[in-house]
């Protein structure tokens, strides 16, 4: 078996919460490291990503993990939320009447997730992005 490099560290500047859709995994990681400049970050990957903070059945689990590990142990100061087009956790693009309705639904959930996080962690910076598919590329757009 091949050996892989290991760095022993526990501090990361950020937490990224995004969907487990494999079509977007590498793009998320590249965007976070190349565009946002975070070389290391905690990852919470779950169907629908930030939707886990909207859903009451998963919210407490995610909040506890973020609080204990990412903020407590790893001392993260920023949380980045991602939603994406054609997300299976929302039923995919086919569930919506048009792309604007799909994006609006997910942006609303991003804002709810931001509110949940801001209430629990008022000292943490929270940023949000929506990943749009354009042909064979993915583009990340900031959400206010």
Q: Are the C-beta atoms of residues 82 and 19 closer than 8 Å to each other?
A: yes
| Residue 9: inside a domain | no
pLDDT digit string, tens, across residues 6-45:
999 889 999 999 999 999 999 999 999 999 999 999 999 9
Alpha helices by DSSP H, listed for the chain, are: 25-30, 51-54, 56-65, 99-120
pLDDT digit string, tens, across residues 90-141:
999 999 999 999 999 999 999 999 999 999 999 999 999 999 999 999 999 9
Specify the pLDDT at position 18.
98
Give the residues across from 14 on adjacent strands.
41, 78
| Residue 6: inside a domain | no
Specify the pLDDT at position 101.
97
Q: Are the C-beta atoms of residues 96 and 123 closer than 8 Å to each other?
A: no
Specify the pLDDT at position 130.
98
Q: Are the C-beta atoms of residues 77 and 14 closer than 8 Å to each other?
A: yes
pTM above 0.75, yes or no: yes
* pLDDT more than 70, % of the chain: 100
Higher pLDDT, 10 or 47: 47
| Residue 23: inside a domain | yes
| Residue 2: inside a domain | no
| Residue 8: inside a domain | no
pLDDT digit string, tens, across residues 81-96:
999 999 999 999 999 9
| Residue 36: inside a domain | yes
Tell me the mean pLDDT in the region 43-64.
96
Supply the CATH number for residue 67's domain. Answer: 3.40.1050.10
126 SS3 class: strand
Distance CA 106, CA 38 (A): 24
Distance CA 122, CA 117 (A): 8
| Residue 7: inside a domain | no
Q: Which domain holds residue 115?
A: 14-143
Give the residues across from 15 on adjacent strands.
42, 79
Chain centre to alpha carbon of residue 133:
17
Distance CA 3, CA 92 (A): 39
């Amino acid at each position: 078996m091949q050996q892989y490099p290991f760095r022993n560290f526990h501090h990361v500047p950020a937490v990224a919460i995004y969907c487990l859709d494999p079509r977007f995994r590498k793009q998320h990681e590249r965007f976070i490291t190349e565009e946002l400049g975070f070389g290391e970050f905690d990852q919470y990957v779950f169907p629908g990503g930030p939707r886990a903070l909207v859903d009451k059945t998963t919210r407490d689990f995610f909040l506890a993990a973020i609080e204990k590990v990412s903020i407590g142990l790893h001392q993260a100061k920023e949380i980045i939320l991602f939603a994406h087009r054609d997300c299976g956790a929302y039923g995919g693009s086919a569930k919506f009447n048009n792309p604007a309705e799909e994006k609006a639904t997910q942006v609303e959930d991003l804002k709810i997730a931001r509110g949940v996080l801001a209430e629990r962690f008022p000292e943490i910076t929270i940023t949000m992005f929506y990943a749009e598919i354009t042909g064979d590329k993915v583009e990340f757009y900031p959400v206010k």
